[in-house]
Amino acid sequence: MLTLSFPLMGLAETAGGLGLPSGPVILTISGNIAHTNVGSDAQFDRAMLAALPQHAFETGTPWTEGRNHYRGPLMRELLAQVGADSDTVHVAALNGYEADIPVSDFEDYDVILALAKDGDAIPIREYGPLWVLYPFDQDDVLLSEKVRFRAVWQVMHINVR
């Protein structure tokens, strides 16, 4: 008899390899994705997003004072995690704002889905809990109006188109 064992990852695994959220869902990814965990969607709670490889940078933004330290998964890695296949994602925020973002932005720049600012969770009133954040201080091109409109805060849903 052959016995296989797999290390426990701390999350219940689904057929797509994504864990199941055990806390409140703060992000849903839908659309043209290969890996799901709830119906045809990939749902994430804070712990699931924090368990992904994290990337950090310091930057100023057009909406905040000074430079702050932000941390979260790279958008390109988050999309790879769900097996996204598209040139564009549509990001929707809690406040009703929506933006289409070319996936090439995530390949060209280290754009993160910021979970933390200066080591703390980002409150809704300060652009959280999730923020598509560009490293604005790394390239003046990122300060253009076109890119600023893509830096969606209060993210709740990403539709891979």
- Residue 114: band (very low, low, confident or very high) from pLDDT cuts 50, 70, 90: very high
Q: Residue 1: its pLDDT value, please?
A: 35
Q: Is the whole-model pTM more than 0.75?
A: yes
Dig out the tokens for 118 from the structure: 């200066």
Average confidence score pLDDT of the chain: 91
Those residues whose C-beta lies under 8 Å from the C-beta of residue 30, and which sit 6 or more positions away, are 40, 41, 42, 157, 158, 159, 160
Question: What confidence tens digit (pLDDT) does each residue in 51-102 have?
Answer: 999 999 999 999 999 999 999 999 999 999 999 999 999 999 999 999 999 9
> Is residue 19 within 8 Å of residue 48, measured between CB atoms?
yes
Mean pLDDT score, 119-123: 97
Q: Residue 37: its pLDDT value, please?
A: 96
Mean pLDDT score, 104-123: 97
Domains and CATH numbers, the chain: 25-160 (3.90.420.10)
Question: What confidence tens digit (pLDDT) does each residue in 125-147 have?
Answer: 999 999 999 999 999 999 999 99
Q: Is the pLDDT of residue 41 over 80?
A: yes
Taking alpha carbons only, the member of 83, 107, 97 closest to residue 14 is 83
Q: What are phi and psi of 77, to 5 degrees?
A: -75, -35
d(CA 141, CA 130): 23
